[in-house]
Amino acid sequence: MIAQRISKGDTIGIVSPSHVASIERYEHIITIIESKGFRVKVGENFYKNTYGYSATETERADDFNNMIFDEDVKMVFFGGGNGGNELLPYIDYEGIKKHPKIFCSYSDGTTILNAIYAKTMLITYYGQAPGTFEDLRYYDYIQFSSHFLDGNVKAFVSNSRWKSIHNGLCEGILIGGYTRNFALLVDSKYFEYDDKKKYVLFLEDHEKFSSLAEISSYLSHIEQSQFMNHIAGLLFGHGVNHAILPIGCTATLDTDKGIMNFSYRA
Protein backbone atom coordinates (compact mmCIF):
# COMPACT_ATOMS: atom_id res chain seq x y z
CA MET A 1 0.00 0.00 0.00
CA ILE A 2 1.37 3.39 -1.03
CA ALA A 3 0.18 6.74 0.31
CA GLN A 4 -0.71 9.53 -2.08
CA ARG A 5 1.91 12.13 -2.89
CA ILE A 6 1.77 15.54 -1.29
CA SER A 7 1.51 18.85 -3.11
CA LYS A 8 2.47 22.41 -2.31
CA GLY A 9 -0.23 23.81 -0.06
CA ASP A 10 -0.82 20.50 1.74
CA THR A 11 -0.51 20.18 5.51
CA ILE A 12 2.41 18.33 7.11
CA GLY A 13 1.72 17.14 10.65
CA ILE A 14 4.70 17.24 13.02
CA VAL A 15 4.73 15.15 16.20
CA SER A 16 7.41 14.21 18.72
CA PRO A 17 7.28 10.54 19.78
CA SER A 18 10.90 10.42 20.93
CA HIS A 19 12.07 13.78 22.31
CA VAL A 20 11.00 17.06 23.87
CA ALA A 21 10.49 19.66 21.17
CA SER A 22 12.06 23.05 21.74
CA ILE A 23 9.84 26.00 20.81
CA GLU A 24 12.84 28.08 19.70
CA ARG A 25 14.23 25.33 17.50
CA TYR A 26 10.97 24.28 15.93
CA GLU A 27 9.79 27.80 15.19
CA HIS A 28 12.74 28.03 12.80
CA ILE A 29 12.14 24.56 11.35
CA ILE A 30 8.44 25.25 10.77
CA THR A 31 9.27 28.57 9.09
CA ILE A 32 11.58 26.81 6.63
CA ILE A 33 9.03 24.09 5.84
CA GLU A 34 6.34 26.72 5.29
CA SER A 35 8.69 28.68 3.04
CA LYS A 36 8.72 25.63 0.74
CA GLY A 37 4.99 26.00 0.24
CA PHE A 38 3.53 23.67 2.86
CA ARG A 39 1.25 24.22 5.80
CA VAL A 40 2.35 22.82 9.18
CA LYS A 41 0.30 21.49 12.09
CA VAL A 42 1.91 20.34 15.36
CA GLY A 43 0.42 18.01 17.95
CA GLU A 44 -1.34 19.41 21.01
CA ASN A 45 1.26 17.77 23.28
CA PHE A 46 4.21 18.57 21.03
CA TYR A 47 6.08 20.75 23.53
CA LYS A 48 5.13 18.86 26.70
CA ASN A 49 7.76 17.41 29.05
CA THR A 50 5.50 15.51 31.46
CA TYR A 51 8.01 12.76 32.28
CA GLY A 52 11.06 15.00 32.42
CA TYR A 53 12.39 13.42 29.22
CA SER A 54 9.21 13.55 27.10
CA ALA A 55 5.45 13.74 27.26
CA THR A 56 3.72 10.57 28.48
CA GLU A 57 3.38 7.74 26.01
CA THR A 58 -0.38 8.30 25.82
CA GLU A 59 0.08 12.05 25.22
CA ARG A 60 2.53 11.34 22.42
CA ALA A 61 0.30 8.57 21.01
CA ASP A 62 -2.72 10.90 21.11
CA ASP A 63 -0.82 13.39 18.95
CA PHE A 64 0.23 10.62 16.57
CA ASN A 65 -3.25 9.14 16.24
CA ASN A 66 -4.86 12.56 15.84
CA MET A 67 -2.63 13.15 12.82
CA ILE A 68 -3.76 9.81 11.37
CA PHE A 69 -7.42 10.85 11.44
CA ASP A 70 -6.91 14.52 10.55
CA GLU A 71 -8.12 14.79 6.96
CA ASP A 72 -6.07 17.94 6.37
CA VAL A 73 -2.79 16.19 7.25
CA LYS A 74 -1.22 14.44 4.25
CA MET A 75 2.14 13.59 5.83
CA VAL A 76 3.24 12.75 9.40
CA PHE A 77 6.81 13.93 10.02
CA PHE A 78 8.77 13.22 13.20
CA GLY A 79 12.31 13.05 14.55
CA GLY A 80 14.48 10.80 16.67
CA GLY A 81 15.61 10.62 20.27
CA ASN A 82 14.57 7.83 22.64
CA GLY A 83 11.32 6.19 23.66
CA GLY A 84 9.41 5.78 20.41
CA ASN A 85 8.90 2.09 21.20
CA GLU A 86 6.66 3.13 24.11
CA LEU A 87 4.02 4.20 21.59
CA LEU A 88 3.74 0.90 19.72
CA PRO A 89 0.80 -0.52 21.75
CA TYR A 90 -1.12 2.76 21.40
CA ILE A 91 -0.80 3.49 17.67
CA ASP A 92 -4.06 3.02 15.76
CA TYR A 93 -2.88 0.68 13.01
CA GLU A 94 -6.44 0.06 11.77
CA GLY A 95 -6.81 3.83 11.44
CA ILE A 96 -3.66 3.93 9.32
CA LYS A 97 -5.10 1.26 7.01
CA LYS A 98 -8.23 3.36 6.53
CA HIS A 99 -6.36 6.68 6.25
CA PRO A 100 -2.98 5.89 4.63
CA LYS A 101 -0.61 8.81 4.45
CA ILE A 102 3.13 9.43 4.30
CA PHE A 103 5.05 8.65 7.49
CA CYS A 104 8.68 9.78 7.53
CA SER A 105 11.37 9.84 10.22
CA TYR A 106 14.80 8.47 11.10
CA SER A 107 16.91 7.29 14.06
CA ASP A 108 14.51 6.33 16.90
CA GLY A 109 11.70 6.63 14.37
CA THR A 110 12.97 3.28 13.05
CA THR A 111 10.77 1.47 15.55
CA ILE A 112 7.53 3.21 14.60
CA LEU A 113 8.15 3.17 10.84
CA ASN A 114 8.86 -0.56 10.75
CA ALA A 115 5.95 -1.37 13.06
CA ILE A 116 3.56 0.59 10.83
CA TYR A 117 4.76 -1.30 7.77
CA ALA A 118 4.59 -4.68 9.54
CA LYS A 119 1.07 -4.05 10.87
CA THR A 120 -0.47 -2.32 7.84
CA MET A 121 1.71 -3.06 4.78
CA LEU A 122 1.86 0.70 4.17
CA ILE A 123 5.20 1.81 2.76
CA THR A 124 6.91 4.21 5.19
CA TYR A 125 9.97 6.37 4.63
CA TYR A 126 13.26 6.41 6.51
CA GLY A 127 15.95 9.07 6.27
CA GLN A 128 14.64 12.53 7.11
CA ALA A 129 12.96 14.36 9.99
CA PRO A 130 11.72 17.92 10.56
CA GLY A 131 15.22 18.77 11.81
CA THR A 132 16.53 18.12 8.29
CA PHE A 133 15.00 21.49 7.38
CA GLU A 134 16.96 23.27 10.12
CA ASP A 135 20.01 23.39 7.85
CA LEU A 136 18.50 22.25 4.58
CA ARG A 137 20.96 20.92 2.00
CA TYR A 138 20.30 20.70 -1.73
CA TYR A 139 20.64 16.90 -1.82
CA ASP A 140 18.23 16.52 1.09
CA TYR A 141 15.50 18.65 -0.45
CA ILE A 142 15.85 16.93 -3.82
CA GLN A 143 15.34 13.63 -1.99
CA PHE A 144 12.30 15.04 -0.17
CA SER A 145 10.79 16.40 -3.39
CA SER A 146 11.43 13.31 -5.49
CA HIS A 147 9.90 10.88 -2.99
CA PHE A 148 6.99 12.93 -1.69
CA LEU A 149 6.03 15.39 -4.43
CA ASP A 150 7.00 13.40 -7.52
CA GLY A 151 6.51 9.94 -6.00
CA ASN A 152 7.48 6.33 -6.71
CA VAL A 153 11.24 6.89 -6.99
CA LYS A 154 12.76 4.04 -8.98
CA ALA A 155 16.40 4.23 -7.89
CA PHE A 156 18.54 5.20 -4.93
CA VAL A 157 20.55 8.33 -5.72
CA SER A 158 23.90 8.08 -3.97
CA ASN A 159 26.03 11.04 -2.96
CA SER A 160 29.11 8.98 -2.05
CA ARG A 161 31.10 5.94 -3.08
CA TRP A 162 30.05 2.53 -1.84
CA LYS A 163 32.48 -0.07 -0.54
CA SER A 164 31.42 -3.59 -1.40
CA ILE A 165 32.28 -6.30 1.13
CA HIS A 166 30.65 -9.05 -0.93
CA ASN A 167 29.84 -8.56 -4.60
CA GLY A 168 26.59 -9.83 -6.02
CA LEU A 169 22.96 -9.17 -6.90
CA CYS A 170 20.04 -9.64 -4.53
CA GLU A 171 16.39 -8.69 -4.24
CA GLY A 172 13.98 -8.40 -1.33
CA ILE A 173 11.65 -6.20 0.67
CA LEU A 174 13.54 -3.14 1.93
CA ILE A 175 13.57 -2.91 5.71
CA GLY A 176 15.78 -1.38 8.39
CA GLY A 177 16.94 1.82 10.08
CA TYR A 178 19.09 2.78 13.05
CA THR A 179 21.04 -0.28 14.23
CA ARG A 180 20.10 -0.14 17.93
CA ASN A 181 16.41 0.36 17.28
CA PHE A 182 16.20 -2.32 14.63
CA ALA A 183 17.98 -4.79 16.91
CA LEU A 184 15.51 -4.02 19.71
CA LEU A 185 12.63 -4.53 17.29
CA VAL A 186 13.73 -7.98 16.13
CA ASP A 187 11.50 -10.72 17.62
CA SER A 188 8.97 -8.11 18.80
CA LYS A 189 5.27 -8.74 18.14
CA TYR A 190 5.27 -5.34 16.42
CA PHE A 191 7.71 -6.57 13.80
CA GLU A 192 6.09 -9.51 12.08
CA TYR A 193 7.61 -10.58 8.76
CA ASP A 194 6.79 -13.02 6.00
CA ASP A 195 9.00 -16.08 6.42
CA LYS A 196 8.41 -16.99 2.79
CA LYS A 197 10.03 -13.76 1.51
CA LYS A 198 13.51 -12.28 1.39
CA TYR A 199 14.52 -8.87 2.71
CA VAL A 200 17.19 -6.30 1.94
CA LEU A 201 18.28 -4.85 5.27
CA PHE A 202 19.69 -1.34 5.58
CA LEU A 203 21.32 -0.14 8.80
CA GLU A 204 22.88 3.13 9.87
CA ASP A 205 25.20 3.96 12.75
CA HIS A 206 28.30 5.97 13.55
CA GLU A 207 30.94 5.83 16.26
CA LYS A 208 29.91 9.27 17.51
CA PHE A 209 26.54 7.75 18.47
CA SER A 210 27.52 4.19 19.44
CA SER A 211 30.81 2.60 20.39
CA LEU A 212 32.21 -0.15 18.20
CA ALA A 213 31.42 -2.64 20.97
CA GLU A 214 27.78 -1.50 21.05
CA ILE A 215 27.43 -1.72 17.28
CA SER A 216 28.98 -5.18 17.36
CA SER A 217 26.46 -6.34 19.96
CA TYR A 218 23.51 -4.97 17.95
CA LEU A 219 24.74 -6.65 14.76
CA SER A 220 25.33 -9.91 16.64
CA HIS A 221 21.79 -9.85 18.00
CA ILE A 222 20.37 -9.37 14.50
CA GLU A 223 22.66 -12.07 13.09
CA GLN A 224 21.57 -14.58 15.76
CA SER A 225 17.85 -13.94 15.18
CA GLN A 226 15.58 -16.05 12.97
CA PHE A 227 15.08 -12.98 10.80
CA MET A 228 18.70 -13.25 9.63
CA ASN A 229 17.72 -16.35 7.62
CA HIS A 230 15.56 -14.14 5.42
CA ILE A 231 18.09 -11.38 4.71
CA ALA A 232 19.28 -11.44 1.10
CA GLY A 233 21.49 -8.35 1.29
CA LEU A 234 22.78 -5.74 3.70
CA LEU A 235 23.47 -2.03 3.19
CA PHE A 236 25.28 -0.25 6.05
CA GLY A 237 26.30 3.36 6.35
CA HIS A 238 25.98 6.83 7.80
CA GLY A 239 26.45 10.16 6.10
CA VAL A 240 26.11 13.92 6.40
CA ASN A 241 23.26 14.13 3.90
CA HIS A 242 19.91 12.40 4.26
CA ALA A 243 18.81 9.95 1.60
CA ILE A 244 15.28 8.55 1.86
CA LEU A 245 14.63 4.81 1.80
CA PRO A 246 11.08 3.47 1.30
CA ILE A 247 10.47 0.72 3.87
CA GLY A 248 8.34 -2.01 2.31
CA CYS A 249 9.20 -1.51 -1.36
CA THR A 250 10.99 -4.24 -3.30
CA ALA A 251 14.69 -3.39 -3.60
CA THR A 252 17.18 -4.82 -6.06
CA LEU A 253 20.72 -4.32 -4.77
CA ASP A 254 23.68 -4.70 -7.13
CA THR A 255 26.87 -4.42 -5.11
CA ASP A 256 29.10 -4.85 -8.18
CA LYS A 257 27.73 -1.63 -9.68
CA GLY A 258 26.88 0.08 -6.40
CA ILE A 259 23.24 0.67 -7.29
CA MET A 260 19.86 -0.07 -5.73
CA ASN A 261 16.55 0.08 -7.58
CA PHE A 262 13.04 0.23 -6.13
CA SER A 263 9.72 -1.20 -7.26
CA TYR A 264 6.33 -0.79 -5.61
CA ARG A 265 3.25 -2.92 -5.18
CA ALA A 266 -0.14 -1.27 -5.65
pLDDT tops 80 at residue 239: no
Q: What is the mean pLDDT of the chain?
A: 94
pLDDT of residue 186: 94
Which parts of 83-178 are beta strand (E)? 102-105, 124-126, 169-178
Across residues 156-167, what is the average pLDDT? 90
Which tens digits make up the pLDDT trace of 115-142?
Answer: 999 999 999 999 999 999 999 999 999 9
Task: Measure the CA–CA gap between 17 and 7, rounded to whole angstroms.
Answer: 25
pTM to 2 decimals?
0.95
**3-class state of residue 203 by DSSP:** strand
Question: Integer distance in angstroms from the first to the last C-alpha of the chain?
Answer: 6
Summarize the confidence of residues 48-62 as an average pLDDT: 91
Q: Are 79 and 105 in contact (CB under 8 A)?
A: yes
For residue 193, what pLDDT band results from cuts at 50, 70 and 90? very high
Structural domains present in the chain: 11-150 (3.40.50.10740), 169-263 (3.50.30.60)
The predicted pLDDT at position 124 comes to 98
